[in-house]
Amino acid sequence: MPAWLIVNRIASFHLIREYPRRQPLVLVRLATDRRRLRGIDGLLFWRLLGTGRGDNTAAGADLRRSALFAVWRDEAALETFLASHPIARRWTGAEEVWQVRLRSLGGHGSWNGFAVPEGLVEGRPGGPVAILTRAEVRLRSWRRFAKAAREVNKAARHAPGLVRVVGVGEAPIGRLGTFSVWDSLPTAHAFAEHDSAHHNVVARTRSDDWFGEELFVRFEPYASTGTWNGRDPLAEDQDR
């Protein structure tokens, strides 16, 4: 594909928490909304996701909360979706919604064969950073990965500079990831490089070949609306 056709891409992340009475609808919509998202003009890639409980990135599920990660042809395509699509209009009735627009700060890997970082508008470093991780864990490696993930989860929740984190997944086993917001790129790097639990897990994923596919992308979260746990994490970072 010619480079000029893909250079305006942006990504977005949407975190939706429903009222208790609507909890049964969350799992239903994770299935039925897939059909409604197909064929949307300008929506190049998307994944509907379940989420973990609170800031727990290990195994577990919050049945009232779901997420959408998407890559758009350009910002206009996202604007049209938010203004007119029934799914986006329905989110206005949720208990809590947080939505953020994302430009690339680099990364590697793919998600179901789609190279997420490719063609995204380049972000400006120096402010808060959002990080998306995702892995297709081999079945033979699942038990070892799950044990290691619990150790990293404990360390990450107390990491200096971590503003928010949520575990996300396409399935309870094997296809899991995280979306996190950090106050700066240096603090995120410091955790990745110096936390022993995280460093050991990364090393084992390579030496033991745990993943069939993996993705790691850093983003500039340049515009957000709504709240996550009662506040906008980006506004919260600015208050510091």
pLDDT digits (tens, 9 = 90+) for 199-223: 566 666 666 667 778 899 999 999 9
pLDDT tens string 77-104? 999 999 999 999 999 999 999 999 999 9
Cα atoms in the Cβ-side hemisphere of radius 13 Å centred on 72: 21
Residue 5 corresponds to which amino acid? L
Nearest alpha-carbon partner for 132 in 154, 153, 112, 117 = 117
Task: Please name each of the domains of the chain with its CATH number.
Answer: 3-239 (3.30.70.100)
- Global pTM value: 0.89
User: What residues contact residue 159 under an 8 Å CB cut-off, 6+ apart?
Assistant: 187, 191, 195
Confidence band of 4 (pLDDT split at 50, 70, 90): very low
For the residues 121-146, what does the mean pLDDT come to?
86
Mean pLDDT of the chain: 86
CB contact burial 220-238 (16+ within 10 A = b; e otherwise): bbbebebbbeeebbbebbe
Residue 24 corresponds to which amino acid? P
Distance (Å, whole) CA 186 – CA 173: 32
Instruction: Give yes or no for a contact between 9 and 44, defined as CB atoms under 8 angstroms apart.
Output: yes
* Bridge partners for 153 per DSSP: none
Nearest alpha-carbon partner for 176 in 20, 52, 29 = 52
User: Would you state the torsion angle of the CA atoms of residues 215, 218, 222, 226, taken in this order, to the nearest 10 degrees?
Assistant: 60
pLDDT at residue 166 greater than cutoff 60: yes
pLDDT for 2 equals: 47
- In angstroms, the Cα distances linking 151 to 56, 92, 134, 182 are 11, 36, 17, 20
